[in-house]
């Protein structure tokens, strides 16, 4: 299970944990310094776990917000 740190705040949509479909409601603000887990890329989209909930947003948003020094290459 890979853990990554964000170096800036992002907006992401909560996803259904079983289907991966976006849930109704507004986007959630995920603050800088937060730890996300299990980042997966599907074309232009990303999905990940934050506080044990599944979220999704455009992959470019997450990629720009990642603290590259927090990436553990030993996994």
Q: List pLDDT tens digits, range 33-75.
A: 999 999 999 999 999 999 999 999 999 999 999 988 866 655 4
Q: Is the pLDDT of residue 2 over 90?
A: no
Q: Is the pLDDT of residue 14 over 80?
A: yes
Q: Please, how many CA atoms are within 13 Å of residue 26, restricted to the half-sphere of its CB?
A: 3
Q: Are 7 and 65 in contact (CB under 8 A)?
A: yes
Q: Is the pLDDT of residue 20 over 60?
A: yes
Q: Is the pLDDT of residue 8 over 80?
A: yes
What is d(CA 75, CA 72) in angstroms, rounded to the nearest whole number?
A: 7
Nearest in space to 1 (alpha carbons), one of 32, 46, 39, 43:
39
Q: Are 47 and 62 in contact (CB under 8 A)?
A: no
Q: Is the pLDDT of residue 19 over 70?
A: yes
Tell me the two tokens of residue 14: 């909560």
Threshold 0.75, pTM exceeds: yes
């Amino acid at each position: 299970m890979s853990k990554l740190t964000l170096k800036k705040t992002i907006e992401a949509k909560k996803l259904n944990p079983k289907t991966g479909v976006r849930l109704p409601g507004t986007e959630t603000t995920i603050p800088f310094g937060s730890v996300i887990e299990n980042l997966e890329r599907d074309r232009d989209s990303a999905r990940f776990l934050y506080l044990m909930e599944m979220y999704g947003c455009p992959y470019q948003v997450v990629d720009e917000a990642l603290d590259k020094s927090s990436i553990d290459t030993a996994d």
